[in-house]
Amino acid sequence: MTKSIGKIASVIGARPQFIKCAALSKELRKGHEEVIIHTGQHYDYGMSEIFFQELSIPQPDYNLNVGSNTQGRQTGDMLSSLEDVLLKERPDLVLVYGDTNSTLAGVLAASKLNMRIAHVEAGLRSFDRTMPEEINRVVADHLSSLLFVPTTNAANNLHKEGIFEGVHVVGDVMVDAVLSNLAIARERSTILERLGLAEKDYLVATIHRQSNTDDLSALASTIGAMGRSQRKIVFPVHPRTRNRLISAGMWDDLPPNILTTEPLSYLDMLRLMSSADKIVTDSGGIQKEAYVMKVPCITVRSNTEWTETIEDGWNVLVGSDPQRLLDAIGSFRPTRPQTDPYGRGDAAANIAKVIDGVSELHEGGSPEPMVANHT
């Protein structure tokens, strides 16, 4: 008989995973022992430590300190260190989030050790295999035995790939985080006052994906279009993007309407985005956060894993075309209500309920997990 789930190892390493972990960890610890393993993929204060402080995430039991590197070397360093930790801790379940190198390393290490894996945010597909994140998603889903999907679209993606067992439609953990922290952010954050901003009088931009930063012509075109818009644009700059701008000699010549900042804390970012007129991004997580906060989103990509935001008309894809970006900054507006496909902010409780049910099942109980329909 399969062992019930007592100890859970949560593998995290990047900003979105810290946010999701904050919501889910509280629920998991009501009935299980949790060991948090921080890979160190995001490692400086502004991208890591401040999230643990603001969101009251338990300090990691392990920090692997892998730092930045190429895709292969970073994943390899994580894999080696994770194997050592998992062999020491022997968890009953290894839980991974999203689609980063930390996700990939977590599922590879656990699967090689014949450990059960749960994937939070399973089933997402951009259908672009040139994206490292897409490879990570597919591998994680095919190696996991519990797949916690945010939407029925995500469940259908898994069904098309032949994955039916262990699929649970639970809603989106990021919605939990936004709904539980937005009021706190509006009360505590002084980011608008510090930057001299007025409600809905500015845009927020985040650009960090390799497809947009490694191609200097694409990066220059995006910056140029934002400059020509003549709108006030607040640009919290990811370390990778900053390094590329500096190395290309572009950092000191940014358009005057673009206000750069260091990476912001979660509460500051929520306050900034919720009060923006529009958001320009290439981030999957921020597309979804913008949707939840009902802020129009312009995505500097040719595809998205969050297809519901497009279908609802609250997100528009502009690819790497600077004219489309400029036009969207000027004229894009949603024209219909949202359908709210990502749940009601109870995804963490739903995930914990499923995991509790699995434990009860292997102890002789008969739970009723929320398995997606196979139609």
Dihedral sign (CA 25, 29, 30, 32): positive
254 falls within a domain:
yes
- Which residues make beta-bridge pairs with 9? 35, 94
CA distances from 37 to 231, 250, 290, 371 (A): 42, 37, 29, 28
338 falls within a domain:
no
**Same structural domain, 236 and 305:** yes
**Same structural domain, 167 and 195:** no
**Same structural domain, 211 and 318:** yes
Range of the domain at 326: 177-331
Helices and strands, number each (H, E), in the chain: 16, 13
Residue 2 has pLDDT above 90, yes or no: no
| CA 14/CA 228 separation, integer angstroms | 32
367 falls within a domain:
no
**Same structural domain, 204 and 294:** yes
**Coil, helix or strand for 268?**
helix
Task: Give the pLDDT confidence score for residue 368 in this predicted structure.
Answer: 39
Tokens of 325: 């970006």
**Same structural domain, 323 and 222:** yes
Residue keyed to tokens 């995804």: 347
**Same structural domain, 154 and 189:** no
Average pLDDT value over all residues in the chain: 91
CB neighbourhood size of 182 (10 A): 18
**Same structural domain, 68 and 147:** yes
**Same structural domain, 198 and 272:** yes
Task: Give the pLDDT confidence score for residue 4 in this predicted structure.
Answer: 82
**Same structural domain, 228 and 281:** yes
Task: Give the pLDDT confidence score for residue 16 in this predicted structure.
Answer: 87
Residue 198 has pLDDT above 70, yes or no: yes
Residues 6 or more apart whose CB falls under 8 angstroms from that of 8 comprise 28, 32, 33, 34, 35, 91, 92, 93, 94, 95, 355
This prediction's pTM = 0.89
Length of the chain (residues): 375
- Give me the helix-helix angle, 101-112 and 71-89, nearest 10°: 40
| CA 197/CA 191 separation, integer angstroms | 8
156 falls within a domain:
yes
DSSP-derived letter for residue 373 is P
CB neighbourhood size of 96 (10 A): 30
Tokens of 180: 């539980």
Q: What is the CATH number of the domain that holds 281?
A: 3.40.50.2000
Task: Give the pLDDT confidence score for residue 46 in this predicted structure.
Answer: 54
**Same structural domain, 313 and 353:** no
Task: Give the pLDDT confidence score for residue 193 in this predicted structure.
Answer: 98
366 falls within a domain:
no
Task: Give the pLDDT confidence score for residue 49 in this predicted structure.
Answer: 77
372 falls within a domain:
no
Share of the chain above pLDDT 70, in %: 93
Count up the domains in the chain and report the number.
Answer: 2
**Same structural domain, 211 and 154:** no
1 falls within a domain:
no
Task: Give the pLDDT confidence score for residue 44 in this predicted structure.
Answer: 57
Active-site pick, 32, 38, 42, 208: 208
Residue 375 has pLDDT above 60, yes or no: no
Which residue type sits at 321? Answer: D
Task: Give the pLDDT confidence score for residue 165 in this predicted structure.
Answer: 96
- Give me the helix-helix angle, 15-28 and 347-361, nearest 10°: 50
Report the candidate in 135, 132, 133, 141 with the shortest Cα–Cα distance to residue 111: 141
Residue keyed to tokens 């930057």: 195
Task: Give the pLDDT confidence score for residue 360 in this predicted structure.
Answer: 65
Instruction: Determine whether 238 is an active site residue.
Output: no
pLDDT digits (tens, 9 = 90+) for 149-184: 999 999 999 999 999 999 999 999 999 999 999 999
**Same structural domain, 24 and 41:** yes
CB-neighbour burial class of residue 58 (10 A; exposed 0-12, middle 13-18, buried 19+): middle
371 falls within a domain:
no
